[in-house]
Amino acid sequence: MRAICLEECLWIGEHLKWCKALETVNKPIDDNDLCTWKPVNAEWIYLLKVLGNTLAYVPSTDTVHYVAPDFCLGSSCPATTVLVCQCVTDPDDQPKLLAVDILCYRSEAACMKPHERYQLLRHMAPHLPARCQVQWCGQRSALTPEFFGSLPHQVEAMVALGEEPGVVLLERR
């Protein structure tokens, strides 16, 4: 996480309303839910674009940080955009972010269905930093043991995007 987060940001502003703990609900995932996975030891982190700066909110410590240049959202990224990401370190020992959901876009809460939020997130891909990518989401049936075995990291749980932004369902493996 230290490779991503620089000094703590003590700036008080509108962005703080988006800095709340990600709500995780432990329950079985329905076959129709939009699913992905949570790697072992991955940490949730929000990337926020605020007044031309990229900040990171780390729910586990309830802190906001400036981010390293490799993790800054592009200059053309709309202001007041908030992405939910997972911080992972793959076998190459380089941390990266996997963008999973979008909480806010152009200062408005992303109050849409999970599939619509994911399409918006995919649309945001050109604005993502070099060390961040949109994490694949799809049907639960695609998350097979063979698929999990092909990943560069072990999988802790299946994740489904909740009906509301900032809510994820976890089904432990």
Along the 173 residues of the chain, how does pLDDT read in single tens digits? Answer: 667 888 888 776 766 777 777 888 888 898 888 999 999 999 999 999 988 889 999 988 888 999 999 999 999 898 889 999 999 987 777 899 999 999 888 877 778 899 999 999 999 999 998 899 999 999 888 999 999 999 988 999 999 998 888 888 899 87
Residue 11 CB contacts under 8 Å (≥ 6 apart), including other chains: 64
Q: Which pLDDT score is estimated for 86?
A: 95
Q: How far apart are the first and last CA of the chain?
A: 25
Give the C-alpha distances (Å, rounded to integers) separating 31 from 23, 81, 131, 140, 172. Answer: 21, 30, 31, 5, 15
**CATH code, domain carrying 106:** 3.30.470.30
Give the predicted TM-score (pTM) of the model.
Answer: 0.90
How confident is the model at residue 25, as a pLDDT? 87
Structure tokens at 95: 């941390």
pLDDT at 155: 94
Q: How many CB atoms lie within 10 A of CB 123?
A: 12
d(CA 73, CA 115): 23
How, if at all, do strands 108-109 and 132-134 pair?
unpaired
Host H or E run for residue 145: helix 145-149
Predicted pLDDT at 71: 94
Number of structural domains found in the chain: 1
Q: Identify the domain containing residue 164 by its residue range.
A: 5-172
DSSP state of 114: H
For CA atoms 109, 99, 13, 166, the dihedral sign is positive
